[in-house]
Amino acid sequence: MPDRDAVDAALRRAIAEGELAERTGDVPVGAVVLDADGTVLGTGRNEREATGDPTAHAEVLALRAAARARGEWRLSGCTLAVTLEPCTMCAGAIVLSRVDRLVFGARDAKAGAVGSLWDVVRDPRLNHRPEVVPPDLVSEDVTARCADLLTRFFERRRIR
């Protein structure tokens, strides 16, 4: 288990990415991939609205950037930090990329695939299962920022 300060720092970086997503009308979800020594290999934010690509989720884009930086698809030794619990597509990408650890800041009761609706990343039938650091193991102020980012976004959309 990584130390809480490192987890919080990674999620703060992901929050900054999520804030950028909102500028293009995308749901403000951000992600960052760190190598074993904490160096950022890739970042991503939701870009479905910006690009018209249904697979342009923050996690997928961060994993792609990290694989390019590393020069291979295997991201062993890496940590993916994301502001929102991954969906089934992203959970599958996490397993297939061989990320060692997943950290997420807010649960997703409607589409979460890391324990809320499904638990893709810990399915024993799969060949890889990353360590999961759920919101209850993250500092409260950081998880609150992850949740607030989404809450504010959807509140503004309902007001329009």
Instruction: Give φ, ψ of 131 to 5 degrees.
Output: -65, 140
> Is 22 a known active-site residue?
no
For β-strands 79-82 and 131-133, DSSP reports them as: unpaired
- Which of these is catalytic: 17, 59, 85, 155? 59
57 known ligand binder:
yes
Nearest of 86, 118, 114 to residue 14 by alpha carbon:
86
78 known ligand binder:
no
DSSP string for the chain? ---HHHHHHHHHHHHHHHHHHHTTT----EEEEE-TTS-EEEEEE--HHHH--TT--HHHHHHHHHHHHHTSS--TT-EEEESS---HHHHHHHHHHT-SEEEESS--TTT-TBTTS-BGGG-TTSS---EEE-GGGS-HHHHHHHHHHHHHHHHHHHH-
Q: Give binding residues as ranges.
A: 57, 87, 90
Annotated binding site for Zn(2+): 57, 87, 90
Task: Write out the catalytic residue numbers.
Answer: 59
